[in-house]
């Protein structure tokens, strides 16, 4: 295992794009891009918890980056001049800020929301409040899936046909068929993951998924159905993972010490880091489409 960068805050949303690893430092309010040489560039600053991001297809990075903004309850897009502009208004969907985001090869943006006060804990009841919303390329937002128990990382298969969502509180990866209009149907369990609470996820060309786990401080590769194929142990919580590098098969894991939700706003000993290990198969689908590798 190699250390890519260390000494940062709560890290999330790693993405491999334009030959660089991009990562959101939530507590610093920064998105950084790391070159293979080790040089680091601060791409933008925006205060938001959460603050996940992805890239619109077929556009350069300085025009295609879209991020979630809990403070504005919107998706923001990075402009060529480095400023952020409103990409889509999400305020009608929930009073809470959105969490993770993935953009497929057709430019459809899927963004999810746990839809409760994380620090206070989830509301009682069998129905989970979390949901997934779709923002189409014309920037219209609509709810497309509900009853999700803390939706976290998301990924879309390379054929744009399936969305996979990590349900942290149900300890599973849940799949949906994607319709021609971006709508979701045929909800099903893609993989049960035992006692783990999957966070960020990515897919590989062998049809497996990697998921990060904060509480168990690991990153796990599973096949559809739940068979564990590989496990990477860490000394701190694993928040998200991404396949990238020159051939697309390097697994990057964003990790940090986790104090629990009640201390999220005042904790300072994160020591956030990105580590890398060699994976058995290259990236597939989104985030990290094959066109982004290299």
| Counts of helices then strands in the chain (DSSP H, E) | 1, 24
The pLDDT tens digits for 126-185 are: 889 999 999 999 999 999 999 999 999 999 999 999 999 999 999 999 999 999 999 999
Q: pTM of this prediction?
A: 0.94
Q: What is the pLDDT of residue 289?
A: 60
Q: 2-292 has which fold?
A: Neuraminidase (2.120.10)
Task: Identify the bridge partners of residue 101 per DSSP, sorted by sequence position.
Answer: 111
Domain boundary assignment for the chain: 2-292
Q: What is the DSSP letter of 119?
A: T
Angle at Cα 51 formed by Cα 164 and Cα 261, nearest 5°?
A: 85
In degrees rounded to 5, what are phi and psi of residue 255? Answer: -135, 155
Question: Structure tokens of 143?
Answer: 């709810």
> Residue 179 gets which letter from DSSP?
P
Q: Give 28-90 as a DSSP string.
A: TTEEEEE-TTS-EEEEEE---SS--EEE-TTS-HHHHEEEEETTTTEEEEE-TTS-EEEEEE-
Encode pLDDT of 22-77 as tens digits: 999 999 999 999 998 889 999 999 988 889 999 999 887 778 999 999 989 999 99
pLDDT at residue number 265: 67
Is the predicted pLDDT of residue 294 greater than 50, yes or no? no
CB-based burial, 139-160: b 16+ in 10 Å, e otherwise: eebeebbeebbbbbbbbbbbeb
């Amino acid at each position: 295992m190699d250390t890519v960068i260390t000494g940062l805050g709560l890290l999330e949303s790693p993405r491999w794009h334009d030959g660089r690893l991009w990562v959101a430092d939530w507590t610093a309010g920064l998105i950084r891009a790391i070159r293979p040489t080790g040089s680091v560039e601060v791409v933008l600053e925006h205060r938001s918890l959460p603050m996940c991001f992805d890239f619109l297809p077929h556009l350069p990075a300085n025009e295609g980056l879209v991020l979630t903004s809990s403070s504005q309850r919107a998706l923001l897009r990075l402009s060529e001049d480095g400023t952020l502009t409103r990409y889509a208004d999400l305020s009608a969907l929930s009073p809470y800020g959105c969490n993770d985001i993935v953009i497929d090869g057709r430019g459809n943006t899927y963004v999810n929301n746990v839809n409760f006060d994380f620090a206070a804990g989830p509301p009682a009841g069998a129905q989970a409040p979390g949901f997934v919303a779709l923002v189409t390329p014309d920037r219209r937002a609509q709810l497309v899936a509900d009853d999700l128990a803390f939706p976290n990382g998301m990924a879309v298969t390379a054929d744009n046909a399936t969305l996979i969502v990590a349900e942290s509180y149900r300890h599973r990866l849940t799949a949906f068929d994607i319709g021609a209009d971006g709508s979701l149907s045929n909800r099903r369990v893609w993989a049960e993951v035992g006692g783990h609470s999957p966070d960020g996820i990515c897919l590989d060309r062998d049809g497996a998924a990697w998921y990060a786990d904060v509480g168990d401080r690991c990153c796990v590769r599973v096949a559809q159905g739940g068979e564990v194929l590989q496990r990477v142990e860490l000394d701190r919580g694993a928040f998200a993972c991404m396949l990238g590098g020159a051939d697309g098969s390097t697994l990057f894991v964003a990790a940090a010490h986790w104090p629990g939700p009640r201390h999220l706003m005042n904790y300072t000993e994160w020591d956030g880091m990105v580590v890398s290990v060699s994976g058995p198969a290259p990236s597939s689908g989104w985030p990290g489409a094959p066109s982004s590798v290299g």
